[in-house]
Amino acid sequence: MTYVATDRPRIGWIGTGRMGFQLASRLLDAGHDVAVQNRTRAKAEPLAARGATVVDRPDQLADRDVVFVTVSASADLQAVTTGPGGVLTADRAPGVLIDSSTVSAEVSTLVRRAAADRGADFLAAPVSGNPQVIAAGKLTVAVSGDRPVYDAVAPLLALLGRGVTYVGEAETARLVKLAHNVFLGVVTQSLAEITVLAERGGVSRAAFLEFLNDSVMGSVFTRYKSPALVGLDFTPTFTNVLLRKDFDLGLAAARELEVPMPLAAATAQLVQSAVGAGLTDDDFATLLLEQARRSGLALEPEDTPVDDGLSSATAP
Sorted by sequence, the CB contacts under 8 Å of residue 176 that are 6+ apart come out as 126, 142, 144, 167
Residues 175-294, CATH architecture: Orthogonal Bundle (1.10)
Residues 10-170, CATH architecture: 3-Layer(aba) Sandwich (3.40)
Is residue 36 within 8 Å of 13, Cβ to Cβ?
A: yes
Please give the span between the terminal C-alpha atoms of the chain, in angstroms, as a whole number. 33
- Cα separations in angstroms, 59 against 125, 203, 206, 307: 21, 56, 50, 44
Q: In 3D, which of 22, 105, 106, 26 has the Cα closest to residue 70? A: 22
Question: What per-residue confidence (pLDDT) applies to 5?
Answer: 67
- 178 sits in which H/E element: helix 172-200
- Cα separations in angstroms, 232 against 25, 200, 202, 270: 29, 16, 18, 19
3-state secondary structure of 113: helix
DSSP assigned state of 239 = B
- pLDDT tens, N- to C-terminus, the chain (316 residues): 556 667 789 999 999 999 999 999 999 999 999 999 999 999 999 999 999 999 999 999 999 999 999 998 999 999 999 999 999 999 999 999 999 998 889 999 999 999 999 999 999 999 999 888 998 899 999 999 999 999 999 999 999 999 999 999 999 999 999 999 999 999 999 999 999 999 999 999 999 999 999 999 999 999 999 999 999 999 999 999 999 999 999 999 999 999 999 999 999 999 999 999 999 999 999 999 999 999 999 999 999 999 999 864 433 3
For the chain, give every domain's residue range.
10-170, 175-294
